[in-house]
Structure 1
Amino acid sequence: MSDADIPKTWDQFREVAKKLTKKDGNKITQAGFNFNQEYETMIYGLNYQKGALMFKDDGKSLNFNSDVTKENTQFLVDLYEKDKVGSKDFGDESSLSFGNGQTAMVYRWGWFQAELQNKYKDIDYGVFPTPTFDEEVPFAYDRYNGESTPGINNKQSKEQQAVAQDFLKFLLAGDQYSIDGALSMGSFPAKKSLAENEKILADPVLKVLSERVDHLIWPGAFPSTVETSAKKAMEDIQFNGMTLDKALSQGQAQMEKDMKGSEFVSQESKYQYFEEK
């Protein structure tokens, strides 16, 4: 397949995944697409593309058990059950399956590039932007994670804290630290002056991100149940024969139970295109 075959929409993606699927009789030998162990990450990105937030307008109530989540979960289920491009029983960890050459396409964030370079050096791979439901710019292409930065021990003396502050300013204000960090983690630099840096744009992952970074949304450092309960919902659908409606309802209930009393407030309303949802 050539660059001309790279799918821009999810409908095109389905067709490409079918072409890339290989079988020996009814047995899959290469999955066209594998989302095993990634539903809990992928589902929220799909929802954002349709303008559905992770949290409701109050910033605290979960929005998991929604019509949009049902549509997008059904889309993923159909990739396996109807299109037969993969299976819950084939390559149960999609990163490993891709690295071993058993899966043609996976959904991954930038960190995966370093894993491939370190663990699967013989794999010849490429990167393309996540498809959308049509070729228009969506509300958001996906979400992103906040950067982790060093902390300063507040038990140290004022003099030591001042030295530490100077060192951190040196790192964070300097271009080289940001460039090295971005390249090593597959994470687009937060420093805007580096957006068109040659080294950044020469990296295939960061090049793709550069074209979309302003349409990625940050929900905040949400509690882990948002992902773990979503993961359990898909496991119930795939392995326990639970209906989609019941699984999503139970997932929502578990999230609400786990977050009862939580002080978390979503940051989604700070997204620059928030009013376009």
Structure 2
Amino acid sequence: MTLLRHGERSQAVLLLQQRLNQRGADLYPDGLFSDATEDAVRAFQGKVGLVTDGIAGPKTLAALGGGHCAHLLQQRSLVAAADRLGLELATVMAVNEVESLGEGFLANGKPSILFERHVMHRRLGIARLPEDEVAALLVSHPNLVNPRPGGYAGGSAEHQRLANARLIDDDCALESTSWGAFQVMGYHAERLGYASVQDFTQRMALNENEQFEAFVRFIEADPALHKALKARKWAVFAKGYNGPAYQRNLYDTKLERAYERHAAGCLVPA
């Protein structure tokens, strides 16, 4: 995934500057992603409604090329979430930058998903499928039903895994899949206020703003995560959201740095 950001010097940045100039910017095209280039990126993002993070990723580059933006995450969704959750906008923008996959949809238009076979194994037990039937599925479909994580195919192939799992049990398969840019698990659907897991997954397939809505509901439903974000206790939030491995991936450090950048930056109004 192409990400052009402050401090980078490359031919790709030079091309970015030229395309920004075609859209009304007044940059000296030297290939350096300077303060002025970041400001120009933010200004363009604000014009088309994208998240004004100053980073030229696939969405911004596609929009510069004339791509359609209506299904992409909008700045107004982040502004509304900050107000709803009682958070600084910079906090919401930092979480979006670090905790999302960047894109909630695949190139073929389907939502980004990841089917978790170990969750499927657990959900089948919760659904009170007889133990001998679950054991038989472990033998016949180990990539779909297994107490161990794994078997990932990635990308669009995850949709085929999900389709195969749905033939075993539709609800359990949807519940065992993480959905969208923030990879919210289907089994949270009713706890987050959705009518059913089917309702949840249908909404996740609409656009990134719906996917972000699921993330906002997830924070609202977890007082500890909400409190940690309000206090900007990045390590507490990162551990709660990402699990014990958060330190290995430096999620807390990334969140803090992203917050500081957004808090200090000139956020373009929605």
Q: TM-score range by the shorter chain?
A: under 0.3
Structure with more contact order per residue of length (Cα contacts < 8 Å, sep ≥ 6)? 1
- Larger relative helix fraction: 2
Query: How high is the TM-score relative to the length of structure 2?
Result: 0.21
TM-score, normalised to structure 1, is: 0.21
